[in-house]
Amino acid sequence: MIDRRALFLHLAVLAALLAALPMLAAYHVTNIAKIMVLAVYAMGYNIAFGYTGLLSLGHAMFFAAGLYAAGMGISLFGLSAAGALVLGPVAGGLAATLVGLLALRTAGVAFMIVTLMFAQAGYLTILYFVKYTRGDEGIVIARAARAIGSVDLSADTPRYLLAFGIFALALLLNLALVRSPFGRIMVAMRENEARSRMLGYNPYTVKLTALAVSGVYAGAAGAAYAVVFGYVGASLASVQYSILPLLYVLLGGAGTVLGPFLGALLMFYLIDYASSATSAYLFIVGAALILLVLFAPKGILGTLRERHARWLP
């Protein structure tokens, strides 16, 4: 049962994002579209990390699976943009399942390292098969291919609306998931795996399922990135893209549905404004994260939930 306040809050955020479109300057239309796509990725990360307690450093591989499935599907096999958007989450889910089958034999720090190694292997694979992937330079998706029917997804408004549609779907499914019985089991795994096992739940299958769902989200975000922004490159599969969703989630609030979006939004604009002011912008980002860990270790919404709004999902 979803708390009415929670449902209303999430719908209000979606309404605000939609209402903001005509008021935003062109620069911010593209930015918010990108933030929504990255937030889908971070939501997926949050399902694994925030709700199930799986600290992965390999999610770039799942994001890249969707990204390259879409990008290479379009550029090499003539796939449509709509087809690419469907293929992306399938590829992301498949990659996460395969990695999970092996990596979930480990836990904690070992899981973190194993997932990092898988992602690094994926990154190097992209560089190695340069004939197909164009390696570090990457692939430009032809503008003509970035369309669904007659709608040109490279234009500001359709781009924003597509990103919004994917984000809205992902957000509401995420909300439903974490309030469902399975969502409770995910949290139980995070809180006390031994007790959950004693109650009859198989940690391996629960974690594998959570990781697969997480991969579907990451793959969907990757495919959306390729179609909406027209570029597919190895830098998007680098370790930086495994760490980014972790930072978004930590900033916004691990284990909160809106936290990934809030984290992505704040981090994006923090970098945007700080990099205009100084070349040491990563120092500012680092300082902000240290302050966060010191004063709000559960992230912004996590702290808000703890102190003022216990109903926040």
Tokens, residue 244: 């980014």
| Shortest reach from residue 188's CB to other proteins, in Å | 28
| Shortest reach from residue 67's CB to other proteins, in Å | 11
| Shortest reach from residue 197's CB to other proteins, in Å | 37
* C-alpha–C-alpha distance, residues 59 and 263, integer Å: 17
**What residues line the site for other proteins (CB under 8 A)?**
8-9, 12-13, 15-17, 19-20, 22-28, 30-32, 34, 124, 127-128, 130, 134-138, 140-141, 143, 154-155, 229-231, 233-236, 258, 261-262, 265-266, 269, 272, 275-276, 279, 281-282, 300-301, 304
Tokens, residue 183: 């969502």
How far is residue 39 from each of residues 150, 197, 283, measured CA to CA in Å?
27, 32, 23
| Shortest reach from residue 11's CB to other proteins, in Å | 9
Residue among 53 and 122 whose Cβ is closer to other proteins = 122
| Shortest reach from residue 28's CB to other proteins, in Å | 3
Bridge partner list, 151: 148
Residue among 266 and 289 whose Cβ is closer to other proteins = 266
Residue among 150 and 276 whose Cβ is closer to other proteins = 276
Residue among 7 and 94 whose Cβ is closer to other proteins = 7
Give the H/E segment covering residue 147: strand 147-148
| Shortest reach from residue 191's CB to other proteins, in Å | 26
Contacts of residue 297, defined as CB under 8 A and 6 or more positions apart, other chains included, come to 303
Residue among 243 and 266 whose Cβ is closer to other proteins = 266
| Shortest reach from residue 209's CB to other proteins, in Å | 29
Closest by CA position to 178, among listed 275, 37, 303, 49:
49
Sign of CA dihedral 103, 104, 109, 110: negative
Residue among 80 and 238 whose Cβ is closer to other proteins = 238
Q: Is 232 left (phi over 0), alpha (psi -120 to 50) or beta?
A: beta
* C-alpha–C-alpha distance, residues 89 and 218, integer Å: 7
| Shortest reach from residue 100's CB to other proteins, in Å | 25
Residue among 97 and 154 whose Cβ is closer to other proteins = 154
CA angle 25, 43, 256 (to 5 degrees): 100
Residue among 208 and 232 whose Cβ is closer to other proteins = 232
| Shortest reach from residue 48's CB to other proteins, in Å | 22
> Helix (H) and strand (E) counts for the chain?
14, 4
The packing angle between helices 26-46 and 240-252, to 10°, is 90
Tokens, residue 39: 């937030």
Residue among 210 and 257 whose Cβ is closer to other proteins = 257
Contacts of residue 61, defined as CB under 8 A and 6 or more positions apart, other chains included, come to 95, 99, 115, 118, 119, 122, 123, 237, 242
